Structure 1
Amino acid sequence: MIHLDRTKQQKIHNRRINTAIYEGQSDTIIVEGTLKDERFCDSHMVTGEIRPPFTVHHMIVRMELQLPDLTILDIEVEMPSVPHESCREIRECLEPLKGLCIAAGFIARVRKRIDRKQACTHLLTLVTAMAPAAFQGAWSARIRQPVDPETYAGMLSKLKNTCWAWREDGPLVEKLTNL
Structure 2
Amino acid sequence: MRIASRGGCVVGIFNRAISFAIEEGVDGRLLITGALSDTRLDKPIHVIEVRAEIGLEDGLIHSLSGEMPHIPHEDCRHALEILPRLVGERIVPGFTQLVRDVVGSSLGCSHLAVLVTNLGHVSVQGRGAAVMSRMGGGEAAVRHLRKQAVELDIMGNCYTWREDGPLMREMRGE
Q: Where does residue 159 of structure 2 map in the other structure?
A: 164
CA distance 1:103–1:168, shift in 2 (3 Å)? farther
- 1:37-96 residue CA offsets vs partner (Å, 9 max, x unmatched): 0122xxxxxxxxxxxx52110000111101111111100011110111111122212221
Structure 2 unaligned regions, length at least 5: none
Sequence identity (%): 32
Q: Where does residue 176 of structure 1 map in the other structure?
A: 171
Give 1:6 shift. Answer: 7.0
Which has the larger Rg? 1
Q: Where does residue 146 of structure 2 map in the other structure?
A: 153
RMSD: 2.4
Contact conserved, 2:38 with 2:46, CA < 8 A, in 1? yes
Say how many residue pairs are matched: 164
- Please tell me the residue identity of whatever aligns with 1:162: N
Candidates 97, 105, 116, aligned match of 2:94 = 105
TM-score (norm 2): 0.82
Mapped to 2, the partners of 1:156 and 1:3 lie a distance apart of 37
Report the secondary structure of 1:91's partner residue.
helix
Larger helix fraction of residues? 2
Q: Give 1:139-150 correspondences, 5 Å limit.
A: 139-146=128-135, 147=140
- Please tell me the residue identity of whatever aligns with 1:168: E
CA distance 1:83–1:25, shift in 2 (3 Å)? same
Give 1:112 shift. Answer: 3.4
Contact conserved, 1:93 with 1:120, CA < 8 A, in 2? no
- 1:120-165 residue CA offsets vs partner (Å, 9 max, x unmatched): 1110011112222111011101111224665343123233223221
Q: Which has the higher contact order (CA 8 A, sep 6+)?
A: 1
